[in-house]
Structure 1
Amino acid sequence: MQANIVPDTSLSELTQAHATLKRSFRSGKLRDISYRKLQLAQLAYLLQDNYIAFQESLARDFGKHPLEANIGETGVVFERTLDAINNLDKWLASEDLSHETNPMFSGFKPTLFKQSRGPVMIIGPFNAPILLTLQPLMGAIAAGCPAIIKPSDLTIHTSSLIHTLVHKYLDSDCYRVVMGGVEQVTALLQLKWSSICYTGGAQVGKIVALAAAKQMTHVTLELGGKCPVILDSNVDIDTAARRILWGKMINAGQVCISPDYVLTPRHIQDKFITSLKKAWNEFFPDGALKSPDTGGIINDRHFYRVLSMLQHTKGEIVIGGNADVKRRKLEVTVVKDVQPGDSLLDDEIFGPILAVVPVSDVDEALEYIEGNPEPLAVYVFSQDEAFKTKVRENTISGSLIYNDTFFQLNVAQLPVTGIGASGYGYQGGKYAFETFIHQRPSMDVPVEAEPHLSIRYPPYTQTTYDVLSQGLLQTEVPLPRCQDKLANGKDLLAREAPPPSHQRGVPS
């Protein structure tokens, strides 16, 4: 099945769709777990029945290889949708906290209930339009939230197919697809949602966050950033080169977790380049432009943006660099001797270019990363546990991956998450469900407890104070006092512990 191009949704339809979703949520049918499972099953059938059509639409939009379409998009969402069906009862089970709380409150049934937030909006990106649009939808269905899905206007064939199939397979009173661009998103952001999930660039992410703040709306931002690779000098350099180059070639580098630049010890830069050339020739024996395994850049604007970055670099192009303007295709390209301030280090490349930045040592690498916005991922290639620990303790990023790139997306139990400039909130697998769930705390205080609770009522007396304050602030602190507030924690623990409070004149 190949859907026809669907026209933009009119603005009047947006308010009608929003009202329909609100009515459906109030009707209560989404509270039925069997209904949610049925809708999840329809989503699974949508993917299973139409994966060939999705391959074709992704190829038409920007030349994505069918294998990448299967293992990186439709297959991932399909498997995680089945996981949601099989585990939804467990995910939704309330949590009894009576055994974890103060014994005084254990009889009051302290509980966490998993409650749907309400109507939500999902804004998907162009680079993984199935994975990053339909996976959040899976989470919304599992959480019992009706949803508006706004796929990218850049992947018009895939977005049109999503529009056609969602309305064919799912309950249109609860799940609607909106086509269009800035005008439609702007209008949608003026409506009140219980949660917004946005995946894309930081510039639009700020607009979404601001609009959400005005409505006091919960928001999840999955952004990007320049994901660095830190290379240790004693690694298996051929393996590292293959894994780094593979991570860069996926989707022509148009992935938020794509390795952006490599911080390599200066004395092994040329050896690393030699290993990259070896891997490049193995991957693309007839050249990267002729390879059917690599796709193109999504549109002319992005193509010329990436090409301009390459044309203005002061580094040396040592691998690739050729382009096919007609197909908007650029070879997987490696540039060495890239220095801070270079065109390749200004913004996220989001294309098939790998910048190699020579540094003196790991300290210089860490200093460079610390001086830039927080990335979505940091990749470390090392067999030295002390080296790994040093990077972990001295960097901040959404994720930290050792000795590979990109592969973390395949592990459903690991969330995709950003921090700081790379976003906030969690996505992927069960985390997509938790994005749209409110963990609602509850207590049930029985009438029979009134004789024991009545002392809390005014007028307060000395007896009230003595009974309710008894023991408060008197528990022994488990660590010693520190007059030197800058002292090392290990030094403090080695000091002699202070005497018990009753020996220090503290009233009991």
Structure 2
Amino acid sequence: MATPAGARSMGEDRQSPPRMDPFEDTLRRLREAFGAGRTRPAEFRTEQLQALSRFLQDNRKLLQDALAQDLHKSAFESELSEIGISLNEIRLALSKLRTWMKDERVPRNLATQLDSAFIRKEPYGLVLIVAPWNYPLNLTLVPLVGAIAAGNCVVLKPSEVSSSIEKVLAEVLPRYLDQSCFAVVLGGPEETRRLLEHRFDYIFFTGNPHVGKIVMTAAAKHLTPVTLELGGKNPCYVDDNCDPQTVANRVTWFRYFNAGQTCVAPDYVLCTPETRERLLPALQSAITRFYGEDPRSSPDLGRIINQKHFQRLQALLRCGRVAIGGQSDESQRYIAPTVLVDVQEAEPVMQEEIFGPILPILTVGGLDEAIAFINRREKPLALYAFSNNNQVVKQVLARTNSGGFCGNDGFMHMTLGSLPFGGVGTSGMGSYHGKFSFDTFSHRRACLLRSSGLEKLNELRYPPYSARRLPLLLMAMEERRCPCTLL
């Protein structure tokens, strides 16, 4: 009788064949390229950054279409938050690259006045960047800019959830970059888990805290340094002393941008009952002006990424009471811009990051109670405060802790390459954007170059030790910032 396909015949080894490692050849190729020094010259880094810029410009329409397919993003939002911000990072890196790469001279002590002391910025080696689905282009390419500028070889793992952008990154991006130094790998959670079994020299992960712990555990096995960009529940305090319509305009824009699927969006508003009553009609007015009487037909409002997240958000709509919006359409993965009131702190909508177009409003007695509420929760990725009184904004800043802070607006701090972007505590560790990206992917190597002569000067430190030499030696090793010299 014939043996069925896939079955084992009698006497055949019953052990499973060894698993093939789909990443081994790719990682070996990249390590060899780094070991050969291909990525270290400034000229190579510049060429790759220029190629990345061409990728974005040559394929702008293709990328916009892919973002529309994945998230129903308008061309405006795609350009503003994905393509444009990535191009800005590339331009900054290209203009500052040689300055960033320069050795950084440091002060010397008396004992080393005749020597050269400096910090050299060196690439880590083989870097893994694991990106999320909500800004699938921005959050893949902006870290990549820093990794390239710092001289690393890179493995990119885009999210399989945003499948259209994943396909463009996998099929088109490699045509622009040196494939001996950069690779895009595909797959879901299982493939990512197997990828993390390998040793990398640095891991950059953007996602949620649960997966962040998995990444950090895997990195710990190889003592690999990590940057974790995670997220959390970002508070937004609205003071009684404010113009409610101005606040509503700004909160509406950055809460419902990308259908609320933004890690720095406000996850809840804290205000007094009086301010809530002034804010609600202003929010309704802003939502209507931005998205029309029927937001479902607006070309500017995104959609939920998939059915799983749609169902999760549907459950959150049952928390508190719907004051604005609340409509949904599962066939389109549409959820209207929604405001919830009478929400209790113990309800699910206050226990997890919302990541959708839902905004709970909780009432507090005033500033002190709002700050106490914020401080008894985990440290957020971003924190916002609105007030016509600058002292109120400064009090919120001084008495709380968060990855980033913005007074009287939302997530505009992210547009500044001069500011680091990153979390603290459960919202993440490490930062990037602008020069901070270059620094994140660079090892700061401490270097001291000494003379091989002048041995007589070193006799103070050699045995046999003498008590009278110790004060002289300690004085010589003390760092002095005055322009003194032995010459």
Tell me the CA shift for residue 74 of structure 1: 1.0
Counterpart AA for 2:30? L
For residues 36 and 412 of structure 1, do their structure 2 counterparts lie closer, same or farther at Cα, with a shift above 3 Å needed? same
Deviations 1:394-420 (A, max 9, x none): 111000100001222222222211000
Residues in 2 aligned to 1:466 and 1:36: alpha-carbon distance in whole angstroms: 49
State the match for 2:81 in structure 1. Answer: 72
* 8 Å Cα contact 2:110-2:476 kept in structure 1: no
Q: What is the CA RMSD across the aligned residues, in angstroms? A: 1.7
Tell me the CA shift for residue 32 of structure 1: 1.4
Residues in 1 aligned to 2:32 and 2:421: alpha-carbon distance in whole angstroms: 32
Counterpart AA for 2:102? A
Residue 374 of structure 1: SS of its match in structure 2? coil
Identity %: 36
Counterpart AA for 1:55? Q
Tell me the CA shift for residue 220 of structure 1: 0.3
Deviations 1:57-80 (A, max 9, x none): 111112111111111001111121
The answer as to 2:235 corresponding to 1:228 is: yes
State the match for 2:301 in structure 1. Answer: 294
The answer as to 2:221 corresponding to 1:214 is: yes
* 8 Å Cα contact 1:166-1:175 kept in structure 2: no
State the match for 1:499 in structure 2. Answer: none
Residue 129 of structure 2: SS of its match in structure 1? strand
Tell me the CA shift for residue 450 of structure 1: 2.1
Q: How many residues align?
A: 461
1:385 to 386, 390, 405: 390
State the match for 1:364 in structure 2. Answer: 369
For residues 470 and 167 of structure 1, do their structure 2 counterparts lie closer, same or farther at Cα, with a shift above 3 Å needed? closer
State the match for 1:351 in structure 2. Answer: 356
Tell me the CA shift for residue 447 of structure 1: 2.4
Residue 70 of structure 2: SS of its match in structure 1? helix
Counterpart AA for 1:121? L
Tell me the CA shift for residue 471 of structure 1: 9.9
Give runs of aligned pairs for residues 272-351 of structure 1, distance below 5 A. Answer: 272-311=279-318, 313=319, 315-351=320-356
Tell me the CA shift for residue 158 of structure 1: 0.5
Residue 21 of structure 2: SS of its match in structure 1? helix
Give runs of aligned pairs for residues 492-503 of structure 1, distance below 5 A. Answer: none
The answer as to 2:168 corresponding to 1:161 is: yes
Tell me the CA shift for residue 301 of structure 1: 0.8
1:60 to 54, 69, 82: 69
Tell me the CA shift for residue 390 of structure 1: 1.6
State the match for 1:6 in structure 2. Answer: none
Counterpart AA for 2:366? D
Residue 171 of structure 1: SS of its match in structure 2? coil
Segment of structure 1 superposing worse, 39-48 or 449-458: 449-458
TM-score w.r.t. the length of structure 2 is: 0.92
Tell me the CA shift for residue 102 of structure 1: 2.9
Contiguous gaps of at least 5 residues in structure 1: 1-9, 476-508
TM-score w.r.t. the length of structure 1 is: 0.88
Residues in 1 aligned to 2:172 and 2:242: alpha-carbon distance in whole angstroms: 47
Tell me the CA shift for residue 389 of structure 1: 2.2
1:85 to 85, 94, 101: 94
Tell me the CA shift for residue 466 of structure 1: 4.4
* 8 Å Cα contact 2:109-2:477 kept in structure 1: no
Deviations 1:242-291 (A, max 9, x none): 10011111111101001110001222211111111111121122321121
State the match for 2:248 in structure 1. Answer: 241
Tell me the CA shift for residue 140 of structure 1: 1.1
State the match for 2:185 in structure 1. Answer: 178
Counterpart AA for 2:93? A
* 8 Å Cα contact 1:261-1:355 kept in structure 2: yes
* 8 Å Cα contact 2:422-2:432 kept in structure 1: yes
Residues in 2 aligned to 1:54 and 1:358: alpha-carbon distance in whole angstroms: 42
For residues 103 and 265 of structure 1, do their structure 2 counterparts lie closer, same or farther at Cα, with a shift above 3 Å needed? farther
Residue 216 of structure 1: SS of its match in structure 2? coil
The answer as to 2:122 corresponding to 1:112 is: no
Residues in 2 aligned to 1:469 and 1:326: alpha-carbon distance in whole angstroms: 75
Counterpart AA for 2:272? P
State the match for 1:259 in structure 2. Answer: 266
Residues in 1 aligned to 2:73 and 2:254: alpha-carbon distance in whole angstroms: 15
State the match for 1:12 in structure 2. Answer: 21
The answer as to 2:35 corresponding to 1:31 is: no
Give runs of aligned pairs for residues 455-494 of structure 1, distance below 5 A. Answer: 455-469=460-474
The answer as to 2:131 corresponding to 1:124 is: yes
Counterpart AA for 1:40? L
Residues in 2 aligned to 1:195 and 1:370: alpha-carbon distance in whole angstroms: 32
Tell me the CA shift for residue 317 of structure 1: 0.9
Segments of 4+ in structure 1 off by > 4 A? 469-473
State the match for 1:134 in structure 2. Answer: 141
